[in-house]
Structure 1
C-alpha cells in the first residue's frame, strides 16, 4: 500500500477516534432559561414601558436570562407583595422607594407587622423622585390653598398617592381636602373635566444634574393648552413628614418640570429596584451587567433611563 493511501486511512482513523473520545466526554450543558419577575407600576409612569424594553433586549441578546414585567398599582403594592409572599424572594425584583420602606418599618398604614422576613436589598438605584403639585387654577398658590378643594393624585397602591396623603395630613388639611386617586394616564383628563383643583405628581430626575423628565401627566399638561404651573411643597411640611419617621427630604430644583422659572422646593424620595437578600447573586450580576453594557441602546429608546 502506498504512503498516500496509508496517510488517508490514518487520517480517517484519527477523526473517528476523536469523535469517539468526544462522544464519551460529558456535554457542556446550556443553562436553562431563568425568568425574573419585575413588579413595576401603572402604565404612564414610564417604568413598565422602560422595563419591557429591557425585557425585549434580553430576549434578543442574552442566552438564558429573561424578564417578565408586571404592571402594578404602584410601589406600595410591590412592597406589600414582597413582604407577604416569601416565594417571590428567589425570582422577583420590585420597584420600591425608601419612603415606602420607612412607612413599613414604622408599622403604619397597611404594614402593622413591619417588613417581617423581607430583607430589602438595592439591585439598581433609579434616582431621586420629586413630588409636588401642578395646577392651572390661579387660586392654588401653595399647598395650603387646597383647603376646601379637590386634589387628584395616583393610586393608593403607589408612592404618589401615599405621599399625597402624608403631605395633606402634615399641612393640617386632612379633613379639609378631598383626594381623588386616579391612574397616571387619566389624571390630566380628570383635571380638564373639572374633577380636581390640582394634581399631586412625581417626576424622575438626576439629583446631580437636575435634569428632569416627565411622565405622561406632565406631557399631557404641557399639551393641554391650559396654564399649568408647578407649586412646591412648604419646607415645614416636608420637615414634619421627616420628623414623623418618613424617609423624605427637601429638594430644590433650578426650574420646574413645566419649563417655567424656578426654583421650587419639592419632596425628594430615593427609589430603586429592590430584591430580597436571598435573591440569586449570579442572576443579579447578569442583569446589572446587561443593563450597564446596553445602557446606550436602552437610553435611545426609553427616555426615562437617560437619567440613570
Structure 2
C-alpha cells in the first residue's frame, strides 16, 4: 500500500473510531495551516500525532493541523533545518535526548543544530538492565558479562545507557557490550548468547502507570524469572553532569514488570512534540491548550495515550526550554509557575 493510501486509511479509521467527521468550523482559507511531522507509519508517534490532528481540527480556534508520516525523529529535525521557512508553522515528534545530540552536533547529526522547544510530552521512556541469572546482583557481578543494548543510533536504548555505564558506573571497559537492537537483545537473552539485556517501557510519573515495551513483554512471557539491575540515582546524576544529557531521574514502581519486587532507580527520556523557536507563538499556544483540554482522549487512539496526563505533558522540563506559546498555555492551566 502506498504511503498516501496508508495515510488515508489510518485517518479514516481514526475518524470512524472517534465518530468525528468534521474538521472544525470556518473555511480552509480562513484557517491557519499547521504541519505536524511525526514518525514511521504505525508507531506510537504516528498514531498519537494523528490523534492530535483530529483533536486540534475539532476545536474552533482557527487552526487546521495536518499530521504526516516521516522516516523517523532524526529526519524531522534535519528536514526543518534544511528548510527553515517551515519552522514558523511546523511541529515535530522529537525527544529530549535526540535534541541533545542535535545541539551538540553528535552522531547522527553532522553538525550542531539549534535547540528545539517543548510543546508537550506524550511519552516518558525508561530503560534498565535485566538478566535471568540470579547471581548477577551487583556492579561487581556485571564485570566481564555480555550485555546487549539497542542499536548505536538509539538514544534511549543505547546512547544514554552507555553514558551511565561510562560516566556513572565507570565500567566502560569492564563489560562486553553488544549493540544489536532491542528485539535482538531480548532474543539473545532468551537464547543465552548474552548474560544481560536492556529492557524498559513507558511511564506516567504522576500516576505510576507503566507500559512495558514489546521486547520486555516478550521476556516476561517466557515464564522465566527476570532479575533487574538498577542504574542507581548517583550514577544517573554523574552521567548527566559529565555528559550534559537530559537524563531525568526516575523510579519505576515495584510490580511494573515481572520480577520487579522493589522500586527501581532509572531515568526518563522525554518523548513528545517539539518545535523550533520560530514556530508562531499563538499557534504553539492554541495547540498546547487543545492538548491540555483533551489529554484524556489520547487513550482512545493508542495504549500509550493512557500514560498521558496534564502534569506529565511538561514533566522534566524547565520553563526556559518550553516554547513561549506552550508555556503560556501551561501557566493558564496552573501547571507551571
TM-score of the superposed pair, with normalisation by structure 2: 0.66
**Structure with larger Rg:** 1
Q: Which residue of 2 aligns with 1:51?
A: 49
Contact between 1:50 and 1:305, CA under 8 Å: does it hold in 2? Answer: yes
User: Cα deviation per residue 1:133-167 (whole Å; 9 max; x = unaligned)?
Assistant: 12223243245543322222223222221112212
Aligned residue among 82, 87, 95 for 1:89: 87
Partners in 2 of 1:207 and 1:28 — Cα distance? 40
Matches within 5 A, 1:222-241: 222-241=220-239
Distance in 1 (CA, whole Å) between partners of 2:30 and 2:140 is 58
8 Å CA contact 1:96–1:272 kept in 2: the answer is yes
> Structure 2 CA distance, aligned partners of 1:100 and 1:246?
10
Q: CA deviation at 1:233?
A: 0.6
CA shift at 1:293, angstroms? 4.8
Partners of 1:262 and 1:289 in 2: CA distance:
37
The residue that corresponds to 2:160 in the other structure is 163
* 2:218 aligned partner: 220
Check conservation: 1:251, 1:267, Cα contact below 8 A.
Answer: yes
Q: Cα 1:158–1:307, aligned 2, differ >3 Å: closer, same or farther?
A: same
- Higher mean alpha-carbon deviation, 82-91 vs 243-252, is at 82-91
Write the distance in 2 (CA, Å) between the matches of 1:195 and 1:34: 52
Which of these residues, 130, 146, 162, is aligned with residue 150 of structure 1?
146
**2:206 alignment counterpart:** 208
| 8 Å CA contact retained: 1:78, 1:94 | no
Instruction: Count how many residue pairs are aligned between Structure 1 and Structure 2.
Output: 274
> What is the distance in 1 between the residues matched to 2:230 and 2:183?
22
| 3-state SS in 2 of match to 1:252 | strand
TM-score normalised according to structure 1 size: 0.71
Cα shift at 1:79:
7.4
The DSSP-based 3-state class of the residue aligned with 2:208 is coil
| 1:224-303 equivalence runs, <5 A | 224-244=222-242, 245-255=244-254, 257-259=256-258, 260-303=260-303
Say whether the 8 Å CA contact 1:230–1:256 is kept in structure 2. Answer: no
**Cα distance, 1:297–1:85 mapped onto 2, change above 3 Å:** same
